[in-house]
Amino acid sequence: MPNYRRFYQPGSTVFLTWVTYHRKTLFAESNNIHLFRQAVQRAKSEQPFDIDAAVILPEHVHFILTFPSNDNDYSKRVGRIKALFTKALKNKDHALTHVSPSRRKHRESDVWQRRFWEHTIRNEEEYKCYLDYIHYNPVKHGLVRCPHLWQYSSFHKWVGEGHYCSDWACQCNGETDFKLRRFEDIALKVGE
């Protein structure tokens, strides 16, 4: 196993990605998105952090989080969010699939991949690049043609605050035949 060390800096802003186990489309159900949001809010109330930007896709999530000036433990927060969401799924009778002996040994379920990816943002230019990455991600994955069509994103918040134009990276030119489709229909196509 590589000798990877995470970088922890108090008060830092961090880009995070975590993925569902075997890329299962758990977030194809809007109910699961609701459970995930509850898990995030609970973790946030237990150990504060700011959510600068986020996007929820059918099988993975991206965040930009900023931590208090005296704190840097994003790993603990990611672990807590994962645990809370997993528990919420189990409570709603989420059917477990085959879990390997290794995952059983480490008390892991079939909800999340074991690890997550992080990058500590070093400057405003990087911050802007990661914001754009998050908000363009649904388009990149072929879920929608334009960022404004994806409802499970912080894009609309950033537009409302004047940081983006509503037609940023837009390909539909405001045509009405590109109305937002139901998330469940989009996610089912991704999972096929």
Catalytic site residue from 74, 130, 136, 152: 152
Active site annotation includes 74: no
Alpha-carbon torsion angle 83, 137, 28, 110, nearest 10? -40
The helix or strand, by DSSP H or E, that contains position 20, with its residue range, turns out to be none
Token pair in block for residue 29:
């159900």
Question: Residue 174 half-sphere exposure, CB side, CA atoms within 13 Å?
Answer: 3
Contact status, residue 150 vs residue 157, Cβ threshold 8 Å: no
d(CA 165, CA 162) in angstroms, rounded, equals 7
Bin 103: left if φ > 0, else alpha if -120 < ψ < 50, else beta.
Answer: alpha
Q: Which of the residues are catalytic? A: 152
